[in-house]
Chain A
């Protein structure tokens, strides 16, 4: 049994993990940077170990310092939270080499899912569909790939990211010119002209499946929809994914469980899919081998504490839940409140919080480490809290979200609350099932 749990993370997820660890009778030890030594999570923890100065590279991203601090604190397990080192196989290995439990899957699963190309191969081997596509080194190869994927298609730089070298092609006649241009851009930006040719899904939704596995068995806890994003950053998440036909919902969940079983997955994980908003065809995108920011919406509709499940699995216990014991009840929505000035191109807004009045009441959960007097530092990401609402159905949850956002008052830093108020009243959001183009379709200003 884990008795002394070291939390190698910060912010709201650290507080979230402390909560469950304490409820289970564990001693919660927070590994905090100098900047976080006096925050709400530090006050809630049983013990605090300073791991390093404020910059992440010398604290939350330093495997050596974290492991040393956990050993010095006589921890018997390390929970990595999300982000930072949570999916780094080397960190998992270092924790285990020091004789402690890593609360997450084995290093082999982290290796398999950490590399996008390898994850794609593993998913194919498990029988999952992936977006048709592949590498192309020249015009001729791109033409051959295009014959497989069909149109419209997307040309991406193999080496790239950030949209450079990326071209949408709707018509075979335009392919050669687009390939030339994309290769030139890819060479200029990354020194590598190779392209990746991929089917373009015009109206795609981002739907993911929460899974739990103990290395032998695996179950799912239903879907989440995270289609409302800005520049691939999720803004709103909900469970279950709205408007999915039952057959599509079941097929997605079955595919996720198949992948988890195929790799003998041990822990909590999320399998992400791109779902065609019209045909409901779906393709594997990636698997996140950790707890997710949006896990509370799944907790709200299943009643399962996912952190508790992580800790039990890490402790070597067989899965205590059977698939038929997991029922999805009602609907839940989470919005991420970030310290960003959304009216000024989401400019970061670090600073001192003067007032933090979060909503409260039935069907409302707030996961936040920020209170009056808290300093939101420029060293870490801008998430200052998550508002999670739940109700018997989606319309009830949307109404509750709008009302809760109206009383939410954080003063001292700019926040994305105003954006979320606009989303909660957007007819496309109220209708449910918006695709990933939702944000660009919002009337700005």
Chain B
């Protein structure tokens, strides 16, 4: 591929801004085989926006249904659903080789840690969210999960 496809350097972008700044123009769009760069004048300064040329229009992020990510569990038909607080990788134990936080039949309280979801190298605890007995484990250890995915079910205490 030709060198012309490399994104412009920070110095190039600064040079483009210097030229525009002394002109009446408010924006410029530059297109190569692989990239587009838009430089635009904003109220307080200049911005640069990059896109890959072959991309369709930016994809809108899927709308979250309410603030369900907030509640880590909720009541559903067959007991209480324990959900992933974030997207990431689900682990049943604190470390490889360590015993799992919980097994089916264990008694749990709302603040019992029943697993962790690793997101961006951070370990996020998953709480049971209800008093009861662990009734089902629906996701395998070390499996990827989406936010709000149902990980486990808790049979509520009578």
> Which residues of A are in contact with B by a Cβ distance under 8 Å?
15, 18-19, 22, 38, 40, 43-44, 46, 54-55, 339-340, 347-348, 350-367, 371-373, 378-382, 403-404, 406-409, 412
Contacts and interface: CB of A to CB of B under 8 A. Distances in A.
A409 B58 contact: no
B86 A362 contact: no
B60 to A, nearest CB: 6
B45 interface: yes
Indicate the member of B43, B45, B121 with the most A CB atoms within 10 Å.
B45
Interface string B44-64: 111111111001101111100
Nearest to B21: A361
12 contacts: A43-B5, A46-B1, A348-B122, A359-B46, A360-B46, A366-B10, A367-B10, A371-B49, A378-B87, A378-B120, A407-B42, A407-B47
A-B pairs with the 6 shortest C-beta distances?
A365-B10, A360-B48, A357-B47, A371-B50, A348-B120, A372-B58
B128 to A, nearest CB: 20
A351 B59 CA distance: 11
Nearest to B117: A378
Contacts of A355: 49, 58
Given A356-B50, A372-B55, 11 more contacts: A15-B7, A38-B52, A43-B5, A54-B144, A348-B119, A348-B124, A355-B58, A360-B13, A360-B16, A371-B52, A403-B44
Contact of B14 (A40, A361, A373, A379): A361
Dominant secondary structure at the B interface:
mixed
A421 B72 CA distance: 31
A408 B45 CA distance: 10
B49 A357 contact: yes
B65 interface: no
Nearest to B122: A348
B79 interface: no
Nearest to A340: B120
Interface in B28-87: 34-35, 39-40, 42-52, 55-56, 58-62, 86-87
B87 A40 contact: no
Q: How large is the interface on B (under 10, 10 to 19, 20 to 34, 35 or more residues)?
A: 35 or more
Contacts of B34: 43-44
Given A357-B47, A406-B45, A362 B18 contact: yes
A367 B9 CA distance: 10
A357 B58 CA distance: 13
Interface string B108-132: 0000000000111110100000000
Contacts of B121: 380-382
Contact of A44 (B7, B44, B59): B7
Given A43-B34, A352-B59, A380-B121, A22 B3 contact: yes
Contacts of A340: 120
Given A55-B89, A350-B120, A366 B14 contact: no
B17 interface: yes
Contacts of A22: 3, 6
Interface in B100-152: 118-122, 124, 144
